Amino acid sequence: MPADTLELRGVPFLRVFQMSGATNFFGEGYAFHRLWKHLGMDWSRTTFAAKTTTLLARAGNMPLQRDSITPQEWCPKCIIAKPRQGVTLNAVGLSGPGTHTLLTRGSWQLRNEPFWISFMPVTETPQKRHRELVAFRNLLSARMAEFRSPFGLQLNLSCPNVGLNGSKLAEEAGDMLSVAGTLRIPLALKLNLLVPPRLAAAIAEHPACDALHVTNALPWGSFPDEIDWEELFGGRISPLAHLGGGALSGKPLLPLVLRWLAEARKHVRKPIIAGGGILSPADAEAMINLGAAAIALGVIGILRPWRMRSTIKAAYQRFALHERLYGGD
């Protein structure tokens, strides 16, 4: 297997992933991307991962245009970016048109390279979430023959902006993997840092789980001994409290992800796709050195776009070095 690809169920994915939603639902990006491209933002040589969808249309906290895909605002009020501190706080809440509309658009079906669709059940009880996932699976299954390229499915259990507890959702992972496993496509379970590595390892033993994807943004107030929320945002109350509090991405996540990854590699036998706080080549190399089978980039495209090319290049060089030294293990 080439050093620059991670093969899951026979599908070769480029080892540098996009965080789901980094370039919107179909890779079209966002309005500010037109400016950021001049600063060096370049998603070349990355595996596209679609913005997480829900079964039904969801308003969330980010107003969308009539296409239910494009944000109305150039700088959505549900997202706060602080480039100097290297952080973002967002309370988007999975705004989107729902699965049926996205599949009807046909854009995913026209892609020519392996990619990921991301889905999260968001109803209030385990029973309803089970039915939600079954309905999503049936919709996707009915359109599988239309896809030009093989693709994988991320089961997102980690979005902190929909009023659900990600750690509690992890307890439902086995059922979700069993439901989605009938699609017979690569499945990655997306967890956040609030799920202990040993629990993640137990979840990963499910035969339908092909990889773990860690991490997503952290809910406001998480890890108070290690993240100085007041220093970052000027107070103890979230500036997005009126939208549920929001979730943190960026620089403070990196040491937490590295620590989680180091512990997880002692117990997890499946590949781990690791991301969170990667803002430089050295950050990417640190995750690969600790055993990440792939890395995921997200807020670097907002906070450090001029470092994207060098970070992606450094990641592939480090993957190649590991392949030579350790044979990909």
Domains of the chain are: 5-326 (3.20.20.70)
Model pLDDT, residue 161: 76
- The pLDDT of 258-278, averaged and rounded, is 96
- The Cβ of residue 214 has, within 10 Å, a number of other Cβ atoms equal to 26
Cα(63)–Cα(263) distance, rounded to whole angstroms?
40
With H, G, I as helix, E, B as strand and everything else as coil, classify residue 168: helix
Output the average pLDDT for the chain.
94
Could you tell me the pLDDT band of residue 170, with boundaries at 50, 70 and 90? confident
| pLDDT value at 160 more than 80 | no
Whether 156 and 118 have beta carbons less than 8 Å apart is answered as yes
DSSP string, 35-83: HHGGGT---TTSB-BPPPB-SS-B-TTS-B-TTSSSBSSSS-TTEEEET
Could you tell me the pLDDT band of residue 1, with boundaries at 50, 70 and 90? low
Model pLDDT, residue 311: 98
323 or 10, greater pLDDT: 10
Q: Compute the residue count for the chain.
A: 329
Cα(236)–Cα(170) distance, rounded to whole angstroms?
28
| pLDDT value at 99 more than 70 | yes
